[in-house]
Structures are given as structure tokens and as C-alpha cells.
Amino acid sequence: MNEEHVEPEATMRLSVQHLAKAYVTHRPWPLAKRNKVLEDASLEVMPREIVALVGANGSGKSTLMMIVAGVLSRDAGTIHIDGRIGYCPQYPVLYEKLTVAETFRLFGVAYRMTGEETEQRASSLMAELAFANYRDHRVEHLSGGTRQKLSLALAVLHDPELLLLDEPYSGFDYETYLRFWDMSKEIAGRGHSILAISHFVQEQERFDRIYQIRDGRCERER
């Protein structure tokens, strides 16, 4: 008998199937319009994978990621996620009047972490991304790059199994960019997964897989 060894199928970290989304402009008929952004978008991310989502400006990358993160509703399709999510939006959403340390405490409470856990993790993330000197500065006084570092650190604070990153490093200096990739490899090495929106063609080899959004669908590039 020809026995074939079949590997057990690994649990999927994220499965997005047949996602559809249209934005409706709320203007009186006949001016109201439906702008179909996603029509039949499907993608999958496995444990340990760092997957890129690429596509032209306005192709629907952020829309897809916001739907997966649960901050935007969908018109059709299914989403299955195995584990906790961390989401770093394209434009950091922060409380201007809080200090960096207060911001970490606020998110720690939301993630149901203890004060001690939050403190330890925040200190190590601030050291890793080199912004510990801003610990007691108010968010409103931070530079664009430091805001992005804080936004990324908040997304990983609770060590999520699925990390959703919308152009996370567009404002990073080169050293921070390299630290970001070290951090990402370490996260994936522990069995977690990352879906990142990216525009940089030159970093394709850093990703395990690449999906391109075109005409509302995700085409697998490799």
C-alpha cells in the first residue's frame, strides 16, 4: 500500500473570506453614491508568519485591516481569528493630554493587565524602541516618529497573537526601522503572526507572503 504521510493542518491565525465593503456617501438621492472598495477579498495568515498587504493608494488596505481589527463594519464575508489582536492604525489615535507613561497605564487597564505587568512591559518596549526619555512627556509634544513608536508599543503591549500593522514604520529613522524588524522576527519566532501594510518594494524578502489588493480582491503574489 502506498502510504502517504500527511502533516496535520496547522491552525490558521487569521482567515478572511469573501470580504465586501462599500462606503456610502450620505447625500440626498440621486447624489448618494456607493463606493465599492472590497468586493471579494480573501486572505490567510498562519502562525509564525509575517505577511504583507500591498496595493496602490486608495486600494482598500486600511479598510480591510480596520474590518479585521473590528473598528469598521463589513457588508459581507467572514473573519476568523485565533488569539488576541493588537492593532496599530495608519494614523496614531492617542490622547494628547496624557503623558507616555499614563497612556501605557490606560491601555494596560483596557487589556486587563496588572499595573506591574504594564510597567515592566512598557519599560522594556520603550527601551527597545528607544523612547524611554519621553516617558513623562505629554503626547501633544511628541514628534511624529515618537508617536508612531508609542502607537506600535501600545499595539504589542499585551503580547497579542495577531498583530495588525498599518504602515507602522513610515516615520521611523533607520535604526528604529531595523529594531522594528528584529522585534517582528522575535514575535513571529514565538509562534505569533503579523499582517503588515507596506509600500516598500525593497523589503519583500522580509515577508513570508505578500498579498496585493487590486480591484477589491487580494491576489497572492507569493
Ligand X SMILES: Nc1ncnc2c1ncn2[C@@H]1O[C@H](COP(=O)(O)OP(=O)(O)OP(=O)(O)O)[C@@H](O)[C@H]1O
Q: Which residues bind Mg ion (CB under 5 A)?
A: 62, 90
Residue 141: name the closest of 195, 99, 86, 91 by CA.
Answer: 99
Which CB sits closer to Mg ion, 17 or 90?
90
Q: What angle do CA 52, 54, 55 make, to 5 degrees?
A: 170
* SS3 state of residue 183: helix
Give the sheet arrangement for strand 76-81, strand by strand: 33-45, 14-25, 76-81
Q: Which three cell numbers stand for residue 61?
A: 488596505
Q: Per rule CB under 6 A, is residue 74 in the interface with ligand X?
A: no
CA distance 159 to 156: 5
Which CB sits closer to ligand X, 103 or 151?
151
**Shortest reach from residue 79's CB to Mg ion, in Å:** 18
Q: How many residues belong to the site for ligand X (CB under 6 A)?
A: 12
Q: Per rule CB under 6 A, is residue 57 in the interface with ligand X?
A: yes
CA distance 150 to 23: 30
Residue among 47, 50, 52, 61 that touches ligand X (CB under 6 A):
61
Out of Mg ion, ligand X, none, which partner does residue 11 contact, by CB within 5 to 8 A per kind? Answer: none
Site string for ligand X, 139-178 (x = CB under 6 A): ----------------------------------------
Question: First and final CA of the chain: distance in angstroms?
Answer: 35
Do 149 and 176 contact (CB within 8 A), yes or no? yes
Residue among 11, 58, 70, 178 that touches ligand X (CB under 6 A):
58
Q: Per rule CB under 6 A, is residue 23 in the interface with ligand X?
A: yes
Out of ligand X, Mg ion, none, which partner does residue 118 contact, by CB within 5 to 8 A per kind? Answer: none
CA distance 95 to 56: 30
Which CB sits closer to ligand X, 194 or 197?
197
Binding footprint of ligand X on the chain (CB under 6 A):
23, 35, 37, 55, 57-63, 90
